[in-house]
Structure 1
């Protein structure tokens, strides 16, 4: 498989997710960032930390990037949830190597 080249903030997000490290994941996000996932918006550090724990850490998600273009990462997500692995699109807003906005949808 070809290597997918990622911006630093996206690389940090993938690495922290795959390491199941909630503190490293939280550090990827800028102050006031928003995550849109499963029809819900999570804004600010407290809400994003809760989202990280429930949606990434508890199910032990592992992300395998398949492509990146513009601001959109397509990746396989696997973990302890029914029906996996599944493909997701992660659309990132990035400023100063931190994620300001993240929208996740199934592909």
Structure 2
């Protein structure tokens, strides 16, 4: 999938995840952002930074986009976890080129 067709914030999220760059990932999120993943909601900078480290950086996640429509990215996620790669849907709310809400569900 051509990442030039993605909103800037989504492209930055993928690039920072794949580079395992926690600071660049944290910079993708706006003030007061939330992430909903694995049945838990992470709110605010400290919780999101912890989520980034535990769910993306430590397991060395690599995201390979397969489709994007509206606000929904479907991608394969692989890394140091059992059963991978797995397909996920990432639904982004974006304001001023920053992610304000991200919901992640298996597909």
TM value normalised by structure 1:
0.97
Q: How does 1:28-107 map to 2 (within 5 A)?
A: 28-107=28-107
Shift of 1:3: 2.3
Which segments of 5 or more consecutive residues in structure 1 lack a partner in the other structure?
A: none
In angstroms, what is the RMSD of aligned CA positions? 0.7
CA distance in 2, matches of 1:6, 1:73: 9
Query: What is the match of residue 15 of structure 1?
Result: 15
In the comparison of the two structures, how many residue pairs are matched? Answer: 106
Query: What is the match of residue 3 of structure 1?
Result: 2
> Whose helix proportion is higher, 1 or 2?
2
CA distance in 1, matches of 2:2, 2:40: 32
CA distance in 2, matches of 1:27, 1:72: 20
Q: Secondary structure at the match of 1:82?
A: coil
Which segments of 5 or more consecutive residues in structure 2 lack a partner in the other structure?
A: none
CA distance in 1, matches of 2:99, 2:7: 11
TM value normalised by structure 2:
0.97
CA distance in 2, matches of 1:98, 1:3: 20
